[in-house]
Amino acid sequence: MLIKSLTMIDFRKYEQVSMNFGSHTNILHGENGAGKTTILEAIHSLAYTRSFKTRLDADLARHGRVGYQLKGLFSDHQGIEHKVRLKVESARKKIVSVDNNNLKSRAEIIGRFPLVSLTPEDGELTFGSPEVRRLFFNKLLSQVDPAYLEQLQIYARILKQRNSMLQTYAIDGGAFDRILIATLDDQRAKVSAQLHQARSRHLTEFKKLLYEAYGQLEQENSLKMAFRSNVRVTAGEPEGLYRKAYQDSLAEDLRKGTTTRGPHRDLFTFFLNTKDLRKFGSQGEHKLVLVAVKFAEGRFLESFLKEPPVFLLDDLFAELDVKRSLMIVESLRGDHQIFITATDLADLRHHGLTVEGDSLQVIDAGKIQDHG
Ligand SMILES: Nc1ncnc2c1ncn2[C@@H]1O[C@H](COP(=O)(O)OP(=O)(O)OP(=O)(O)O)[C@@H](O)[C@H]1O
Ligand SMILES: [Mg+2]
């Protein structure tokens, strides 16, 4: 997949600009505040209907405007082009269309124009709480497995209802509908087993790609990723095991006013040389794992979707030494369209990226405003 051109109207600082991109490496160059990240955000918003920085469309509209518009021309690996348009007219009115057909739901576009973005916010993926990693894997698996997305939505609905029952009980006490909660837990056990199986299966695949990607960047340390299910699902029948765990934990849940067991508490943990990365990793070690996760994400998406994703790399070289940067640049060579932001071209050269050549385009983010 590649994006050939982009138009932004009233999107963040841009009033009305259009630009064309090269099919290999695109360098978005400009000083702080020039508008580099905004271009990545626009591309992401077109492909996933929302930004990686905010869910509030009001923040994306240029100060003083209520809406904004984005247009992108995408091309798949066969060269077939698609026009994607996103128009926000007000907080409540957002229209996304592909080839002039308006979409009814996000699910219609998720997975069609795959992107891998690496932005400073992604640092949370290795530094942050388990929740961040669960969200990451949920988003990744949802793109390749529509059944997984559906199961997640069902699980979230049940969990919400169950928690609100538990909360009401914790606050008011009184009568408690045990039959209803047993019914919910029956349904929850069923979908939990499905989620568990999908996670185990996909993560086995993902881990292979991750270790391979990491091994290309770093030979001295060893990385392991563990998926630990919150309910022990050993050999046997997972649905029954979940049902039993839910029955056993009901008393505790009633006491705490929340649901303590289930896949919403599963853990994904990174270990560097057998030590928890989150607790012991250095900044650069974190960043290298993050880059490996992103490369693995790209290969994972590509293997399922049969479409090479576009890489959006914001501030890629921060925290990395030159040796590691060179390895990253080396493994980026391939058939992907890449966007890299830079405040300083000399710094890119320093990190091993040749900034001249046919396969590379430099876009000066600070100057495009003038081209209207
Ligand atoms: N809704 C908005 N309306 C107008 N301007 C905005 C809006 N949101 C952000 N900006 C401004 O847009 C400018 C560009 O931001 P952007 O994050 O794209 O810069 P950048 O080139 O990535 O900078 P840096 O190198 O510091 O990361 C900033 O000055 C920011 O204050
Ligand atoms: Mg930026």
**For residue 356, what pLDDT band results from cuts at 50, 70 and 90?**
confident
For the entire predicted model, the pTM comes to 0.91
Place of tokens 């099919």: 23
Instruction: Flag whether 147 is in a domain.
Output: yes
Ligand 1 pocket, residue 309 CB under 6 Å: no
Q: Express as a percent the part of the chain with pLDDT over 90.
A: 74
Closest CA to 343 of 315, 368, 319, 369: 315
- The pLDDT score that the predictor gives to residue 358 is 65
User: Which of residues 371 and 83 earns the better pLDDT score?
Assistant: 83
> Looking at residue 176, which CATH number applies to its domain?
1.20.1050.90
For ligand 2, a single-atom ion, the residues with CB < 5 A are 37
Say if residue 371's pLDDT is above 90. Answer: no
List the residue whose alpha carbon is closest to atom 31 of ligand 1.
33
Closest ligand 1 atom to 60 CA: 1
What is the number of the ligand closest to the CA of 363?
1
List the residue whose alpha carbon is closest to atom 17 of ligand 1.
37
Task: Using DSSP bridges, classify how beta strands 14-20 and 25-29 pair: parallel, antiparallel or unpaired.
Answer: unpaired
Which of 240, 263, 280 marks a domain boundary? Answer: 280
Are 246 and 352 within one domain?
no
Could you tell me if residue 30 is left (phi over 0), alpha (psi between -120 and 50 degrees) or otherwise beta? left
Are 235 and 364 within one domain?
no
Instruction: Flag whether 365 is in a domain.
Output: yes
Are 155 and 109 within one domain?
no
Q: In the structure encoding, which two tokens stand for residue 90, read together?
A: 């007000």
Could you tell me if residue 312 is left (phi over 0), alpha (psi between -120 and 50 degrees) or otherwise beta? beta
Best of 36, 44, 51, 53 for a ligand 1 pocket test (most atoms within 8 Å of beta carbon):
36
Are 275 and 235 within one domain?
yes
Distance 40 CA to ligand 2 centre (A): 9
Ligand 1 pocket, residue 5 CB under 6 Å: no
Instruction: Flag whether 121 is in a domain.
Output: no
Are 154 and 273 within one domain?
yes
Ligand 1 pocket, residue 13 CB under 6 Å: yes
> Among 164-168, 270-274, 360-364, which stretch is predicted with the lowest mean pLDDT?
360-364
- The pLDDT score that the predictor gives to residue 370 is 46
Neighbours of 82 (CB within 10 A): 14
Distance 344 CA to ligand 2 centre (A): 13
List the residue whose alpha carbon is closest to atom 12 of ligand 1.
13
Q: In the structure encoding, which two tokens stand for residue 299, read together?
A: 């290969």
Distance 300 CA to ligand 2 centre (A): 27
Question: In one letter, which amino acid is 82?
Answer: H
Q: Where in the sequence is the domain holding 268, given as residue range(s)?
A: 126-208+224-280
Q: Which of 136-140, 323-327, 328-332, 348-352 has the highest mean pLDDT?
A: 136-140
Are 65 and 96 within one domain?
yes
Query: 63: helix, coil or strand?
Result: coil
Tally the domains of the chain.
2
List the residue whose alpha carbon is closest to atom 16 of ligand 1.
35
Say if residue 29's pLDDT is above 80. Answer: yes
Q: Which of 11-25, 161-175, 345-359 has the highest mean pLDDT?
A: 11-25
Are 104 and 148 within one domain?
no
Are 256 and 181 within one domain?
yes
Are 8 and 101 within one domain?
yes
> What are 83-128's pLDDT values in tens digits?
999 999 988 899 999 999 999 988 889 889 999 999 999 999 999 9
Are 108 and 146 within one domain?
no
Ligand 1 pocket, residue 84 CB under 6 Å: no
Ligand 1 pocket, residue 64 CB under 6 Å: no
R_g over Cα of the chain: 23
Are 140 and 90 within one domain?
no
